[in-house]
Amino acid sequence: MTTSTTGSQLLASAAGLDAADPLAVLRERFVPGDGELIAYLDGNSLGRPLIATREHLFRFVDDVWAPRLIRGWDEGWMDSPLTLGDALGALTLGAAAGQTVVADSTTVMLYKLCRAAVCARPGRRQIVLDTENFPTDRYVLEGIAAETGTQLVWIEPDPLEGVTADEVAAVVGPDTALVVLSHVAFKSGFLADTPAITRIAHAAGALVLWDLCHSAGVVPVELDAWDVDLAVGCTYKYLNGGPGAPAFGYVASRLQGELRQPVQGWMGHAEPFTMGPGYAPATGMRRFISGTPPVVGMLAMRDMLDLIGEAGLDAVRAKSSALTAYVIDLADELLTPFGVEIATPREAARRGGHVMLTHPSFRELIPALWERGVIPDFRPPQGMRVGLSPLSTSFGEVAAGLALVARLLEERGQGRLISVR
């Protein structure tokens, strides 16, 4: 069977899947791409904007910013990191009110919470992390280790399997201050056993911080039920906050009075408008705010949280699992004959919202895909990451995108790389 014939059959099956998708109607809520876009397969890097967001941004300028000006701070802006944090926590994190804040970038929030956690465990001189985690996490912890004189203890997991509970149990002990891992691995999509690993770290007396960048808004999380200490995540992926959207941080209520974050800005002061000579941290999650809240950067996220609430996170997860399973089925049929390997767990319960495919040609192939309107992303050394935002991605997009990947691989095997449009 030729690639073109198989691709036609898969497109037909995709149409049936889209017709049966209970969330398909919600795709109409997103601003469409340009006419050149065939398949957007990078929703786990930057989500599409909502039509409602476009309207709300205009209205914010005309109806709120322009007429209210500085009065807006007394009319909700000052509390927006906390009120939006509570909404985010309730809808996507399994977090009761008063434990989540929206502020800063992911890197800054990671630094603040990790540094506070290490200092809250004096006498413990080790931080546990893994070699497969996102660079920011590793770089931030290298800096904290240098500042505090602590030692980094590296786990080297199987890139496909990710960090396991047994691997954590083998390295934590009485000298462990903090364990930092990702709930969903940014390359393979491996879904860590967060409850088990958290229990293991706690048994050793350590704190745990979970990176939720590839979880929030696509994989249900139960931070309170899992007894998680700390968590950080971004909001521009599945939460569709837009480029540069602020991060979020979670601190369990039982720890908030114990931790003292290191970036002591005036917005985290107990009485910010006294302009006093010394720093006294506010109570609750306000103490983890440093500077002026990114009010404009929060607008798009509010709209996406409303949509997630309408759809239901369990339904979002079900669609995500179906999409990633479809990618794996397509890859098995269309791509493995060309030497493509699937570097993501096949069991739905063990993977997040994206699939990693590997092939030596992907570094050169992905720019050609972009030129033809299919947008995945590349992860070294030879990975093509297929990121699927369930509320904006159709099965038809997935089929069309991977059929083009197969076509280009086939043509490269013949020594040609020609336009297929």
Q: Where in the sequence numbering do the catalytic residues fall? A: 134, 211, 236-237, 385
Query: What whole-number distance in Å separates Cα of residue 295 and Cα of residue 76?
Result: 10
Nearest-angstrom CA–CA distance, 242 and 46: 7
CA–CA distance, 114 with 155 (Å, rounded to integer): 18
Q: How far apart are CA 83 and CA 202, in angstroms?
A: 30
